[in-house]
Amino acid sequence: MIEDLWYKNTVIYSLDLETFMDSNGDGVGDFEGLTRRLDYLQSLGISTIWLSPFQPTPNHDNGYDISDYYGVDPRHGSSGDFVEFMQQARKRGIEVVMDLVVNHSSDQHPWFQHSRKDKNSQYRDWYVWSKKRPAGWKTGMVFPGVQKSTWTYDKDAREYYFHRFYPFQPDLNMHHPAVRTEIRRIMGYWLELGVAGFRVDAVPFIIETPPTRGNKNTKLNFEYLLEMREFLQWRRGDSILLGEANVLPDETLNYFGKDGEHIHMMFNFFVNQHLFYALATAEVAPLAAALRATKKLPPGAQWAQFLRNHDELDLGRLDEKQRDKVFARFGPELEMQLYHRGIRRRLAPMLGNQRQLELAYSVMFSLPGTPVIRYGDEIGMGDDLSLKEREAVRTPMQWTAEPQSGFSTCAKTVHPLITKGPYRYDQVNVEAQRRDPASLLSWTAHMIRLRKECPEIGWGDWKILPTGSPSVLAIRYDWRGNSLIVAHNFDEKAHEIRLKPEVEGGDKLLNLLVEDESRADTGGTHRIALEAYGYRWYRVGNLNHVLRQRKE
Ligand code: NOJ
């Protein structure tokens, strides 16, 4: 079972082909470039790659506007290059998960073109049309401030079409059986080419019924998730669905399914936002509450824990006061904020120092679930606020100090490189950090190895332990007779904590990061001095004993 449920103890690396590595010098990253960098990823220790959309696209939303679901955008190479990449990833034991963007297609997709131009076309009902402009046409925008409406008039069709996102992303009509059949084909196609599953884009919107005049039904069609899941598992038993759904804790069981029969994994947006609150204020109680609120999971289900992704840092689930504090600390300037709810910055410039970066990553690696890293965060890359919207955090990977950072030989790259300020590529790059044992890159590789050696985190039960300090979060994991305790001080000041492991053998804690151990006093309490932003990973009891047990 441990091997079968591989996603419970993997480390996911999220990257965009476009900005990762350009092999042919046209300024755009490609599959051959990524293939050449697989050894780097393997030595970093990651075991799953999540590829953002790479299919043919007009590219108005970073590839999340697909015009052919069965191909590779020529800028990234050919289908042959994709298969070659898959083979090389498999040889290194790296799983590949890809985006499944089926809430909407591009308006340039032939399906939409047929749909809008010909009322009698078989594709007409593949999209959502309305003769009259629905009452709520100016509500429900996902990108407020930039997106103007959710219904747009189409001159050719002479009707309005629904788009939850930008107007060039018309929603597919999920109630149409032919659309569902086509989605199964898309999934089947890529599974056949070896992917281990899908990061499902915009799950709540896939399963909504668009709010037209006649239809006031706001119930979500969760049974569709079961349909997807069943098909996926028939085709490849160990493949997974990783859902993007920024929902409240009491809704999550519907997404996972009561008995774990829907999607396997979901990004834990709720914990993510409270984690940023803790980083901004050094107050851990709301994070502890968010963890407890998302604790109950059906069998087989798993959280994906992350810090930053390719979008804005969405703070919409915090209350107003909390959100204001996070904005004040991490996004005080208007140009750093986006869509009235988020921050369009990378992690390193937000936190501003390596000690807090290490703390943030150490927390993330130790949260219940599977960690997801964003490319470039392992070296502490910065952002470019002169780029529009979320493009600020999508600049090319910084490999070396050479021109164009070794990402490309082309003078003009798909997004500009960061050439100014403390995060410019001749300062922050892989080559320099590889040679420095104290670099963030070396530290990250070390932490990934440690995380993989602690399957308790991916598999185990857990409990938050009192520490006596409002700034220190301690969690104990238990799995198969082994226990692990992690403690994180979110404060810029040192704290001494009092910790009672409350578990057999808990009078001795073995530090997994440096040679050191803690002994409890006669009352079973450990007194541990945590420096500013300090963190500890302890195994309870004796390491040899643990290793022996695991073998048995
Ligand atoms: C979520 C993706 O993460 C985001 O980048 C995209 O704009 C929307 N879904 C629409 O596909």
CATH of the domain at 142: 3.90.400.10
Residue with the smallest CA separation from ligand 1 atom 11 is 64
Q: Identify the pLDDT of residue 218.
A: 75
SS3 499: strand
Could you tell me which of 284, 294, 219 has the C-alpha nearest to residue 256? 294
Angle between helix axes 320-330 and 269-281 (nearest 10 degrees) is 60
| Ligand 1 nearest-atom number relative to CA 64 | 11
Taken as a whole, the chain contains a residue count of 552
pLDDT reported for residue 541: 86
Domain boundary residue among 452, 471, 505? 452
Mark whether 220 and 345 lie in a shared domain.
yes
Q: What is the CATH number of the domain that holds 279?
A: 3.20.20.80
Please calculate the CA angle 398-399-402 and round it to the nearest 5 degrees: 95
Annotation marks residue 521 as catalytic: no
If asked whether residues 248 and 135 sit together in one domain, one would say no
What is the C-alpha R_g of the chain? 24
* Separation CA 339–CA 93 (nearest Å): 39
What's the gap between Cα 145 and its chain centre?
24
Nearest CA to ligand 1 atom 4: 311
**Paired strand residues for 97:** 50, 197
Structure tokens at 332: 């005080």
Report the separation in Å between the CA atom of 201 and the middle of ligand 1, taken as the mean of its atom positions. Answer: 7
Task: Calculate how far, in angstroms, residue 344's C-alpha sits from the geometric centre of ligand 1.
Answer: 14
Q: Which of 19, 150, 201 to mutate to test the pocket of ligand 1 (most atoms within 8 A of CB)?
A: 201
Find the CATH number of the domain harbouring 540: 2.60.40.1180
Q: Which residues contact 403 (CB under 8 A, 6 or more apart)?
A: none
* Residue whose CA lies nearest to ligand 1 atom number 10: 64
pLDDT at 552: 44
Residue 165 CA, closest ligand 1 atom number: 10
Q: What is the extent of the structural domain holding 155? A: 110-162
In a domain, 138, yes or no: yes
Each residue's pLDDT, cut to its tens digit, for the chain (552 residues) gives: 677 899 999 999 999 999 999 999 999 999 999 999 999 999 999 999 999 999 999 999 999 999 999 999 999 999 999 999 999 999 999 999 999 999 999 999 999 999 999 999 999 999 999 999 998 899 999 999 999 999 999 999 999 999 999 999 999 999 999 999 999 999 999 999 999 999 999 999 999 988 775 666 678 999 999 999 999 999 999 999 999 999 999 999 999 999 999 999 999 999 999 999 999 999 999 999 999 999 999 999 999 999 999 999 999 999 999 999 999 999 999 999 999 999 999 999 999 999 999 999 999 999 999 999 999 999 999 999 999 999 999 999 999 999 999 999 999 999 999 999 999 999 999 999 999 999 999 999 999 999 999 999 999 999 999 999 999 999 999 999 999 999 999 999 999 999 999 999 999 999 999 999 999 999 999 999 999 999 999 999 865 555 555 544
Asked whether residue 18 falls in the same domain as residue 50, the answer is yes
Residue 480 Cα to ligand 1 midpoint, Å, equals: 39
Tell me if 169 is assigned to some domain. no
| Centroid of ligand 1 to alpha carbon of 9 (angstroms) | 26
Name the residue of 64, 102, 308 to mutate for ligand 1: max ligand atoms within 8 A of Cβ. 64
> Are residues 192 and 251 located together in one domain of the fold?
yes
Kindly report the protein residue whose alpha carbon is nearest to atom 5 of ligand 1. 311
DSSP string, 40-58: HHHHHT--EEEEPP-SS--
- Whether 474 is covered by a domain: the verdict is yes
Same domain for 251 and 321, yes or no, is: yes
Q: Max Cα separation, the chain?
A: 82
CA of 282 to the centre of ligand 1 (A): 31
Residues 6+ away with beta carbon under 8 Å from 80: none
Residues 84 and 199 in one domain: yes
| Ligand 1 centroid distance, CA of 391 (Å) | 12
Tokens of 166: 């930008």
Bridge-based pairing of strands 535-540 and 302-306 is: unpaired
The pLDDT, as a whole number, for residue 543 is 57
- The identity of residue 112, as a single letter, is F
In whole angstroms, give the CA distance from residue 373 to residue 367.
13
Report the separation in Å between the CA atom of 494 and the middle of ligand 1, taken as the mean of its atom positions.
Answer: 40
Which residues are within 8 A (CB) of 215 and not within 5 positions of it... i.e. 6 or more apart? 209
Q: How many CB atoms lie within 10 A of CB 524?
A: 12
Q: Does 224 map to a domain?
A: yes
What lines the ligand 1 site, CB under 6 Å?
61-62, 64, 101, 165, 201-202, 244, 310-311
Residue of 267, 242, 310, 245 lying closest to 100 (CA atoms): 242
Q: Please report the atom of ligand 1 found closest to the CA of residue 202.
A: 9
Same domain, 331 and 465: no
Token pair, residue 83, equals 């298969």
Atom number, ligand 1, closest to the C-alpha of residue 309: 3
Domain end point (choices 418, 452, 486): 452
Q: Can you tell me the distance from the alpha carbon of 212 to that of 208, in angstroms, rounded to the nearest whole number?
A: 12
Collapsing DSSP states into helix, strand and coil, what is residue 269? helix
pLDDT at 219: 86
Whether residue 468 sits in one domain with residue 333? no
Q: Is residue 168 in some structural domain?
A: no
Q: Which atom of ligand 1 has the smallest separation from the CA of 311?
A: 5
Which pLDDT belongs to residue 512? 97
171 occurs within a structural domain:
no
Q: Is residue 229 domain-shared with residue 118, that is, in the same domain? A: no
Distance 4 CA to ligand 1 centre (A): 30
Nearest CA to ligand 1 atom 3: 311
Question: Number of folded domains in the chain?
Answer: 3
Atom 6 (ligand 1) nearest CA: 64
* Residue 202: predicted pLDDT: 98
Bridge partners of 310?
A: none
Question: For position 11, what pLDDT does the model report?
Answer: 98
* Catalytic pick among 30, 73, 171, 201: 201
State which of 15, 146, 165, 198 you would mutate to test the pocket of ligand 1, scoring each by most atoms of that ligand within 8 A of its C-beta. Answer: 165
Of 448, 401, 334, which Cα lies nearest the Cα of 40? 448
What's the number of CA atoms in the CB half-sphere (13 Å) around residue 505?
A: 16
Is 502 assigned a catalytic role? no
**In terms of domains, do 274 and 404 share one?**
yes
202 CA → ligand 1 middle, Å:
7
Say yes or no: 514 and 545 in one domain.
Answer: yes
Q: Among residues 30, 81, 171, 244, which one is catalytic?
A: 244
In a domain, 510, yes or no: yes
Shared domain check, 332 and 431: yes
Q: How far is ligand 1, taken at its centre, from the CA of residue 447, in Å?
A: 29
Query: How far is the C-alpha of 485 from the C-alpha of 545, rounded, in Å?
Result: 16
